[in-house]
Structure 1
Amino acid sequence: MRMTGVLLVTALALLLAVGSPVNGCPPSDRAALLSFKAALNEPYLGIFNSWSGSDCCTNWYGVSCDPETKRVADIILRGESEDPIFEKAGRSGYMTGSISPSLCQLDRLTSLVLADWKDISGEIPPCLASLPHLRILDLIGNKLSGDIPADIGKLSRLTVLNLADNQISGSIPPSIVNLKSLMHLDLSNNKLCGEIPSDIGKLSMMSRALLSRNQLTGPIPCSLTNINRLADLDLSMNQITGSIPGQLGSMPVLSTLNLDSNRLSGEIPTSLLSNTGLNILNLSRNSLEGNVPDVFGPKTYFTLLDLSYNNLRGSIPKSLSCAKYIGHLDLSNNHLCGAIPVGSPFDHLEASSFANNDCLCGTPLRTC
């Protein structure tokens, strides 16, 4: 009996020893986080001061674990936050350093948010594309450089890819079209060049595609019009050429379309101005020609319609006065001519909306 009791105690001790990692994060996850921390410097708020002790699942700022496996699931560190630590300091976050490839050892990671720290530099570790469970990758507002990982398309569960406001260069990798679960894509305000992948329309779940303020060239891919969930498309401030695909006006939920400050030519598709769901349309600062289509009606609702700085000719469409609502309208810096229609929305617009055309007249400009 005594020997049996000793065996039971020994067995229990072994079980506790083997089972102890279940009560906290595995040492390998903790080591990966500490390597990640070592590559960064956050001098003002002290958010990494909490990263101590053996259990990285408890009270480590910005870290959370799967409740069953105790593996690290989320790293969410935002430099602009309403967290008390920011409010108490009275400042937004600032961090230098780089993103350590040690994060790639966290193979149960679902969210990586390292946003708005202003001065984190270096490249995005290519191995991040090998994290099989990653759903959110948000690195906005830093100074990251280099290319988007070529194998980014391997992240089959990714729903959010936000790399905006960095210094990322190179082209958009062709594999990006394999992100079948992607809903939010923001690559704006970087140094991306080359063409938008022609088959980007394969991203059938995408609702927002924000690619503005880069150096993208080539045409607007017609395959974009196959994304039935797309509500917000921003390709502004690039070097995109060619004509505007008329099919954009037939997209079922598109409400915001910004194509301003490119090198687009040809005529404005009639379908864009007759689409009653589109309420922000900015085509300014291109080389668009022809007349403004006279296709407005009682269901037309634009909070912003900007066609300025093009080569548009002819008269202002009289049907604009039939629109349900036109908020901001800018037709300036074209070659329009003739009388400005009377009534709404023209009775609340300023002269700047019509300035620098060939021969427009009527209120709020000179009398015809």
Structure 2
Amino acid sequence: MMDSTNKSLVILLSNVVVLLLAATTVQSCFPSDRAALLEFRAKLNEPYIGVFNTWKGQDCCKGWYGVSCDPNTGRVAGITLRGESEDPIFQKAKRSGLMTGSISPAICKLTRLSGIIIADWKGISGGIPSCIAKLPFLRHIDLVGNKISGVIPANIGMLLRLKVLNLADNQISGVIPPSITRLTSLAHLDLRNNNISGVIPRDIGRLKMLSRVLLSGNKISGQIPESLTRIYRLADLEISMNRLTGSIPVSFGKMSVLATLNLDGNLISGEIPGTLMTSSISNLNLSGNLITGRIPNTFGPRSYFTVLDLANNRLQGPIPASITAASFIGHLDVSHNHLCGKMPAGSPFDHLDATSFAYNTCLCGKPLGYCKK
């Protein structure tokens, strides 16, 4: 009979064999994942660089360009295909060439997918498969720089792990789905330069992890939701070149990390909140609106602007004397308003060009002409 020592050795060796077999198993991709990738690839055409030349053999986790797998499960976890890349495969061609085709719903068969990056090809069209909202592990969607049309899937709010949603520079229409306010892990939202209409969801402030909200270059209407000012991590808010109306929420000036606030090219009215001039905002662009009243006389040592653009509005009165107390103003533009009066002396007026003050009612002083007595 086998003694206890030998039994222990046999059990130990058996466990080692099982572990080795398991390790061998997860090195190869699942056949179903491989089939889904090939179905996905069949809807795309890229003749110049040969991005898909490596998509051969049985193991899609090894050597297939742009495909990454989870080493623990062997399941496909990411697809990364960028049209503008420093990767050596792109340096073989003098030009990147265009990938055309569409995003196949077959991508939804990759049930463990956490990242989809199909960016900057400029030729991929069609819609976003609505089934991607059923991929529970998705954390990153980046489809920037294509010709994708249709709408953002209405049920995108099901992607509770999603951190990045970048659909900029496409031809997407429809509205921002109300369900987007359920994406409580979302940190980066970029929908710039599309054909999106409707309003910004009123309760977007529920997304407490957001640091960037970029919605410029669309057809968004309605007022700026007050709830945006309750996102304490928000650093960049760009809603330029839309159809926004109403006034600027005063609470923007109380946000602790907001550095960029670009609202230019809208139909915003009302007055400029005085709190904006002593806030954390360093890039403030309110040009091309219907803003009235005076430039707030609330500048002080905390006022630091790389850009302060108030041009093309309906501002009246003088340029406030307190502006010289700002710690720094790099670019200032108050042209095309109804300002009148003598320019304050000192910084920043000693390094600004006269064009920054042109087309006002009766501004005078350096760098403009002398004031009449």
Paired residues of 1:93 and 1:116 also in contact (CA < 8 A): no
In structure 1, distance between residues paired with 2:192 and 2:46: 26
Query: 1:297 corresponds to which residue?
Result: 300
The structure-2 alpha-carbon separation of the partners of 1:16 and 1:258, relative to structure 1 and needing over 3 Å to count, comes to closer
2:85 is the alignment partner of 1:81: yes
- Pick one of 283, 286, 297 that aligns with 1:280: 283
Q: Structure 2: state its 5+ residue gaps.
A: 1-18
Alignment of 1:31-46 (within 5 A): 31-46=35-50
Query: 1:9 corresponds to which residue?
Result: none
What amino acid does structure 1 have at the position aligned with 2:336? N
In structure 1, distance between residues paired with 2:96 and 2:237: 29
- Pick one of 186, 190, 198 that aligns with 2:190: 186
Cα RMSD for the two superposed structures: 1.7
In structure 2, distance between residues paired with 1:87 and 1:219: 47
Query: 2:237 corresponds to which residue?
Result: 233
Bigger mean CA deviation after superposition, 295-304 or 155-164: 295-304
Query: 1:3 corresponds to which residue?
Result: none
Query: 2:11 corresponds to which residue?
Result: none
Paired residues of 1:80 and 1:93 also in contact (CA < 8 A): no
Query: 2:140 corresponds to which residue?
Result: 136
Secondary structure of 2:223's partner? Answer: coil
Render the CA deviation track for 1:168-209: whole Å, top value 9, x for unaligned. Answer: 000000000000100000000000000000000011000000
Query: 1:100 corresponds to which residue?
Result: 104
What amino acid does structure 2 have at the position aligned with 1:245? P
In structure 2, distance between residues paired with 1:347 and 1:68: 63
Secondary structure of 2:117's partner? Answer: strand
- Pick one of 339, 360, 364 that aligns with 2:342: 339
Q: Cα offset for 1:231?
A: 0.2
Paired residues of 1:270 and 1:293 also in contact (CA < 8 A): yes
What amino acid does structure 1 have at the position aligned with 2:174? G
- Pick one of 29, 52, 55 that aligns with 2:56: 52
Alignment of 1:195-210 (within 5 A): 195-210=199-214
What percent of counterpart residues are identical? 64
Paired residues of 1:244 and 1:264 also in contact (CA < 8 A): yes
Q: Cα offset for 1:91?
A: 2.3
TM-score, normalised relative to structure 2: 0.93
Render the CA deviation track for 1:12-35: whole Å, top value 9, x for unaligned. Answer: xxx999997534101100000001
Render the CA deviation track for 1:136-160: whole Å, top value 9, x for unaligned. Answer: 0000000000000001000000000
Render the CA deviation track for 1:312-360: whole Å, top value 9, x for unaligned. Answer: 0000011111111100000000000001111110011001100000000
Query: 1:24 corresponds to which residue?
Result: 28
Q: Cα offset for 1:92?
A: 2.9
Q: Structure 1: state its 5+ residue gaps.
A: 1-14
What amino acid does structure 1 have at the position aligned with 2:263? L
Query: 2:16 corresponds to which residue?
Result: none
Paired residues of 2:319 and 2:343 also in contact (CA < 8 A): yes
Secondary structure of 2:198's partner? Answer: strand
What amino acid does structure 2 have at the position aligned with 1:265? S
Q: Cα offset for 1:252?
A: 1.0
Q: Cα offset for 1:68?
A: 1.4
Render the CA deviation track for 1:39-83: whole Å, top value 9, x for unaligned. Answer: 000111001000000000000000010111110001111111110
What amino acid does structure 2 have at the position aligned with 1:147? V
